[in-house]
Amino acid sequence: MKINICENSFNSYEEIDAYEKKLNAKGKFGATASFIGSMRNFNEDKKIESMFLEHYPDMTESFLNQIANDAQKRFNLIDILILHRVGQIEISEHIALVAVWSEHRKEAFESCRFIMEELKSRAPFWKKEKTTTGTHWVKNNTPGT
Amino acid sequence: MQVSVKYFASLRELMGESSRLFDIEEKSSVDDLWQQIKNKKNVNFENVMATVNMQYVKSNHQLHDGDEVAFFPPVTGG
């Protein structure tokens, strides 16, 4: 299991590939599911130029670990990878990556969604968007279900 | 007893500070502390979320000396 909060941009596809190659599970998993959250250039009716992501140091890491451990207990998973950006984020950069490996697709699909929805609703991150006219805090995430 | 309080995001900006120590009465709850802060700072903030020692708690959670309490708006990660 790997959970990382980082200020630098990352390429989710390279991260998944690199992590999978290091997994000591060749032949054991038949399903990999992933979710990648990317930075849009719009939100509702506003044109967005960039974003700043604030977090609660230590608690955010601890909470993501808690979510991953909950997912391990609920689903039959081989491994989990969670990466999340903080700090300054530019358009089209990846904000969040959740990837899971399991024997079958059911656990992979369901656990990936479980982790992402838990992260979205309870992990302590806050988005501040920059538009052409100033900055504002995002008040709510859009519902995922 | 004394607890440390942290604020995040829009609440931090509204409070004009990111943290502060508060003296509170024994057996105070999270909600007691929040009401004390709101009255002292004269602020109105809807839908506040709270953690104690980095764990989500209910508003009637009883505080202890040395606790770290955080107040913040709904989270918006991902």
pLDDT in tens, B5-39: 999 999 999 999 999 999 999 999 999 999 999 99
pLDDT at A145 over 80: no
> Residues of A with CB below 8 A from B10's CB?
126, 137
pTM of the model: 0.95
Distance CA A105, CA B15 (A): 47
Determine, for residues B8 and A126 on separate chains, whether the beta-carbon distance falls below 8 Å: yes
Domain span at residue A77? 2-20+29-137
pLDDT, average across residues B34-54:
94
pLDDT at B44 over 80: yes
CB under 8 Å to A140, separation ≥6 — which residues? B74, B76
- CB contact, 8 Å: A53 with chain B? yes
What tokens appear for A4 in the block? 């990382």
Residue A78 lies in a domain: yes
pLDDT in tens, A40-97: 999 988 999 999 999 999 999 999 999 999 999 999 999 999 999 999 999 999 999 9
Residue A145 lies in a domain: no
Residue A143 lies in a domain: no
CATH code, domain with A44: 3.90.1170.40
CATH T-level topology, domain B2-72: Ubiquitin-like (UB roll) (3.10.20)
| SS3 readout for A73-109 | HHCCEEEEEEEEECEEEECCCEEEEEEEEECCHHHHH
By the 8 A CB rule, do A111 and A71 touch? yes
Residue A54 lies in a domain: yes
- Counting the structural domains of chain A, the total is 1
CB under 8 Å to A116, separation ≥6 — which residues? A35, A96, A98, A144, B78
- The sheet with strand A134-137 has its strands ordered as A87-90, A50-55, A125-131, A134-137
Q: Which member of B6, B10, B70 has the closest CB to residue A137?
A: B10
CB under 8 Å to A46, separation ≥6 — which residues? A129, A131
